[in-house]
Amino acid sequence: MEKDHYSEKEAADTIRPIVDAIKYCHEMGIVHRDIKPENLLYNSVDPSAIIKISDFGLARYYNDDLMTTACGTPSYVAPEILIGKGYDLSVDYWSIGVVLYIMLCGFPPFYEDSNEALFEAVKQGQFEFPSPFWDDISDMAKDLIRNCLQVNPRSRFGAEQILAHEWISGLNTPRVDMPHVTAKIREYNAKRRFRKYANTAIASNKFMAAAKEAKKR
């Protein structure tokens, strides 16, 4: 929001170390389970500052056994967590896909008036690239987001695929400014102050109650 110039190239350069850090966590057997903008922090105000992942309060060790605890932040949670049949490390890459979407337009792909409606949209993978906000965003970026936001975790991109994607690794990633993004982020943040569920982490019973209610619809 404080940048004078902001482009897809800068977004790619920002998301790359996040993916790399999550890849390292996964190699160490740790799944984060609450990736969101609020948990991505720069270590200084310098333009070349390092971005780091914070808040491992919902993280846990993972040993190839499917996790079943329903937790996360509603706007960023993966559909398999809501379905309740078990999930693995790939939930972090879904959340990264949501973060990337926000970085390129200023608002999330899933945004409803209630948790129940939000969860239903997430489970169905119902999102779009609305005009005019996405008109000037490259097809490369949209392709990466689609592959991160795959409802089926087996079809979803993992760290290696994300880092190898042409939008992340290519020299042709657009460097044109996206002036509308910061204004949309400010607007979204203002709305979020009145809708706490959008950025509040939820765990266990409370989360499952909302998820079960969504299943009935």
Q: Which two tokens stand for residue 6?
A: 């902001």
Q: Considering only CA atoms, which of 134, 132, 122 is closest in space to residue 174? A: 134
End-to-end, the C-alpha distance of the chain in Å comes to: 37
Query: Residue 43's closest CA among 32, 51, 31?
Result: 51
Q: How many CB atoms are located within 10 Å of the residue 41 CB? A: 13
Catalytic pick among 4, 20, 34, 143 = 34
Q: Catalytic: 65?
A: no
Rounded-to-integer distance, Cα 92 and Cα 73, Å: 12
- Cα–Cα distance measured from residue 87 to residue 81, given in angstroms and rounded to the nearest whole number: 6
Measure the CA–CA gap between 7 and 194, rounded to whole angstroms. Answer: 29
Inter-residue contact 17 to 50 (CB < 8 Å)? yes
Question: Which residues are annotated as catalytic?
Answer: 34
